[in-house]
Amino acid sequence: MGSWKGIIDHYRPRLEMDDNAPVISLGEGNTPMILSERLSERTGLEVYLKFEGMNPTGSFKDRGMTMAITKAVANGAKAVVCASTGNTSASAAAYSAKAGILCVVLIPAGNVASGKLAQALVHGAKVVEVRGNFDQAFEITRKLEGPYPIVVVNSTNPHRLLGQKTGAFEICDRLERAPDYHIIPVGNAGNITSYWNGYNEYHADGITDSLPQMFGFQAAGSAPIVLGHPVDQPKTIATAIRIGHPASWDGALRAARESGGEIRSVTDKAILEAYRMIASEGVFAELASSAPVAGLLQLSAQGRLERGKTVVCILTGHGLKDPSWAISGAPKPIQVDAEIDVVAQALGF
C-alpha cells in the first residue's frame, strides 16, 4: 500500500494515542500474509504465514516500539532501556535513533545473534553485555526505572502491548474474518497476549463474529509455561524464545484457556526442520519464528485441527538476523573457474 504510514497512523483510534504527539515511525506493520500451498496440502488446512520479518528492523517488535518510543518522547524522556534476546534491542535502537534519544540495551553475553547485535550497534545504542541470561538482564532493567531518568521499553511497557495487537487487526482486515486457529511462538509471552487482546477487541466491536483458538509454542528446553514452573537455565537454539521466566505468563495462559487453545512445546530438531521447510518455499524466518510451523505440524499430526479451517502462523522475525544456521546446514557452493563452459559443465548442461 503506497499510502501506508505505520500502525499508529492506520489504527490510531484503537491505540489510545494523543492526537498531538509527534509519531515516531519507520513505517512498521502491513506485513505480508503468505498462503503456503505446501503446508496447506500437507495439513488439509488453509495455512497463512504472516511474515513479521518484513517489519523495518526485521521483527514484530517494531509494532510495539513505535508506540513505546512515541509515548516516551511525548513524556519528555531522553533515554530508554531494555533487556533483550536481540530483536527488542534492534528495534529500540532504531526507533530511538529516529527520535534522537539515547537507547541502552542489556543483552545476555554471547547469546545474541550477530545480525541483531549489529543492528543495535549501527543505530548507536549503548550496548551492555550482561554475564547472565535474558531473565537476569531483565531483572536489572526493571530496577533501573524509577531511581534513574530512563524509560523501560520491554514488553512490560503497556504501550508496546497495545501496538502489538495491530497484528491481529491486520489478519482480520485481510481475511475479512477471524482465522480459526492462530499459532505463535512464546518467549516472554507479550505477543500472544496482545494478539488475543486484538482479536477480542474486533469481536467486541462486531467487526468479526468469531475468535480463533490460540496455540502458543515454546521450545522444549525453555518451556516454563508448559512445565508449570520457571526454568532457571533455559536452553534452545531459538534464542529469541530462550526465556525461563516469562513476564506475561498469565496473559498466555488466559489466551489459551479462553480460546480453547493450548500452550505447547516443540523440540529444537522440529524447529530446525520447520525452518528449512519454509525456507524451501521461499520464506526466510528465524529459528524462533519457525516454532509455530513446527507446532502446526505437531497439532495436525495429532488430529487436533479440523480440516478445511483457516490457520495463521506468526513468523515473528527475519532469518537474515542469524544466517549461521542457514549456512551450516546447506551444501557448500561449488567453486569454478570464470569460464562459460566450466560453469555449464558444473551445472550438468
Ligand X SMILES: *Cc1c(COP(=O)(O)O)cnc(C)c1O
CA nearest 325: which of 279, 253, 272? 272
Q: Is 166 in the site for ligand X (CB under 6 A)?
A: no
Q: Is 155 in the site for ligand X (CB under 6 A)?
A: yes
* CB of residue 158 to ligand X, shortest distance in Å: 14
* CB of residue 189 to ligand X, shortest distance in Å: 5
Other beta carbons within 10 Å of 295 = 26
Rank residues 73 and 238 by Cβ distance to ligand X and give the closer one.
238
Q: Whose grid coordinates read 531511581?
A: 147
Q: Is 186 in the site for ligand X (CB under 6 A)?
A: yes
* CB of residue 147 to ligand X, shortest distance in Å: 26
Using Cβ positions, the residue closest to ligand X within the complex turns out to be: 317
Q: Could you say which of 34, 125, 183, 240 contacts ligand X (CB under 6 A)?
A: 240
Site track for ligand X across 313-332, x = CB under 6 A: ---xx---------------
Q: Could you say which of 7, 288, 312, 313 contacts ligand X (CB under 6 A)?
A: 288
What are the residues whose beta carbons fall under 8 Å from the beta carbon of 216, sequence distance 6 or more?
183, 184, 185, 186, 189, 192, 225, 252, 255, 256, 261, 262, 263, 264
The torsion defined by the Cα of 264, 266, 267 and 270, in degrees rounded to 10, comes to: 170
Q: Is 152 in the site for ligand X (CB under 6 A)?
A: no
CA atoms of 198 and 165, how far apart (whole Å)? 5
Count of residues in contact with ligand X, rule CB under 6 A? 18
Rank residues 55 and 310 by Cβ distance to ligand X and give the closer one.
55
Q: Is 167 in the site for ligand X (CB under 6 A)?
A: no
* CB of residue 308 to ligand X, shortest distance in Å: 29
DSSP 296-342: HHHHHHTT-S-TT-EEEEEE-BBGGG-THHHHHTSPPPP---S-HHH
Site track for ligand X across 37-76, x = CB under 6 A: ----------------------x-x---------------
Burial of 143 (0-12, 13-18, 19+ CB in 10 A): exposed
Binding residues (CB under 6 A) for ligand X: these are: 59, 61, 87, 155, 185-191, 240-241, 286, 288-289, 316-317
